[in-house]
Copies of this chain bind each other. A is one copy, B any other.
């Protein structure tokens, strides 16, 4: 179908991404993953509306495996999928590949909760958000 339902994010490795080994720094990958998640959020969520409802999507766990090192001028491609929708949390699976290959650079699971600022705690996923993550989960079948 239409792979624009859940597009990948491409990032070209630049000098300022590298560390003393000439590899992309561990920390920088988290920004790459966050960039990819914002691309997904832009499509599936109305973040300003959530903020107006005093609801924030808050990351509570990141579990990332570094599997290969990326260097200057490599182009990385990041795929973001839903791996689990629970009552109070959602886990995304993100994979970073060298572009146009099946060679993986890093993969991560990123778990969110919905934090209600007025209540000062994580709450059950609102129906609307659960539905949007459901749409995201469905979209990935078409990849």
Roughly how many angstroms separate A62 CA and B67 CA in the complex, as a whole number?
Answer: 12
Which partner residue on chain B sits nearest A63 by CB separation? B63
Interface residues contributed by chain A, number (CB under 8 Å): 32
Do B56 and A65 touch across chains, with their CB atoms under 8 A apart? no
Chain A residues within CB distance 8 Å of chain B: 12, 14-16, 18-22, 25-27, 30-31, 34-35, 38, 47-48, 56, 58-67, 72-73
Taking CB atoms, residues of chain B closer than 8 Å to A15 are 19-21, 25, 34, 38
From B14, B18, B22, B62, contact of A62 by CB (8 A): B62
Roughly how many angstroms separate A93 CA and B62 CA in the complex, as a whole number?
Answer: 15
Which partner residue on chain B sits nearest A25 by CB separation? B16
